[in-house]
Homo-oligomer: A and B are copies of this chain.
């Protein structure tokens, strides 16, 4: 890859080409641009997006302490053993400052530093202008276009945006640890709604099989053998895995593949449309905001926001006034 130079369009084309060709530095640089919502990132994404769509996007989420990073590491090993390449978008709940230090298991992943078939990217969970879902979906599209077979989206299961990221994948894995108290039972029930596959981790602990049995019972509506409320109208698989030793991980991979094969006809298109809608919405909101921040409209916009801040008007009236100002601006 050459050093950056030329117009944004030229640099975007060079970055996109290099990323597709497997240049890891180019890929890393492009992902940084995507996180920062630069003009180069937009141009590169426009080139790469039509080339994406082949990867299997797998969301991995669960409460803190359930062992997400360990499971992701085990999945990487299993996918590599089966000859597939894998990229990870890990949404890190810590700040950009402390970044990678948060998850001790990330160290384990550094054993893949010399393997071109693995790429791990941590993203901060705060400060995304277009929203976390839009940024991480764009990052996944970059990996997808770069030819990775599987893209894992790893998020902590305790935030609105974070759960939505995992839920918008083709297949969503919700991880649980056995023997948890009442508080986590409640979180569990909330997370289960988005699960295509439920994994009870730490399967070597005494409570694991019991937890799995409880989860299966929770997931079976009374008087029915399958649930009818989910997008795929079927009951998620519940698997017991010991991520640390790899036990149960081949079965998890088989379940992921099965879900993808089944899902191609039902759930996945819905997930893909939801991702598309989230991305288009984010771009629309950005475009609108950019126009309102244009030199000619900035005074109007600032005055409207100030009036809302002072409670002299309400956000609805301000939004409608700004839309009207935008319409006048654009009229010939």
Residues of A within 8 A of B (CB): 42, 45-46, 49-53, 64, 93-95, 97-98, 101-104, 125-126, 128, 132, 156, 158-164, 182-183, 186-187, 189-191, 193, 269, 272-273, 275-277, 279-285, 287-289, 304-306, 308-320, 322-323, 327, 330-331
Q: Which of B42, B94, B280, B305 contacts A308 (CB 8 A)?
A: B280
* Closest beta carbon of chain B to A50's beta carbon, Å: 5
With contacts A95-B193, A190-B94, A308-B280 known, is A313 near B49, CB below 8 A?
A: yes
Q: How far is the CB of A288 from chain B (nearest CB, A)?
A: 6
**A312 proximity list for chain B (CB < 8 A):** 50
A319 and B284 contacting across the interface, CB-CB below 8 Å: yes
Tell me the nearest residue of chain B to A332, going by C-beta: B331
Contacts A284-B323, A314-B46; A273 near B305 (Cβ below 8 A): yes
Q: Are B158 and A160 in contact (CB under 8 A)?
A: no
Q: What residue in chain B is nearest A161 (Cβ atoms)? A: B160
| Residues of B contacting A322 in the complex (Cβ-Cβ under 8 angstroms) | 280, 284
A-B contact pairs, 23 of them (CB 8 A): A45-B316, A49-B314, A50-B314, A53-B311, A64-B158, A95-B191, A101-B186, A102-B187, A125-B159, A128-B160, A269-B309, A272-B309, A272-B310, A275-B309, A276-B305, A280-B315, A281-B285, A282-B315, A283-B316, A284-B285, A285-B288, A287-B319, A287-B320
Assembly CA distance A320 to B283 (angstroms): 9
A70 to chain B, nearest CB (A): 13
User: Which one of B104, B273, B282 contacts A309 once the chains associate, using CB atoms below 8 Å?
Assistant: B273
Smallest Cβ distance from A67 to chain B, in angstroms?
A: 12
A304 to B279 CA separation, bound complex (whole angstroms): 12
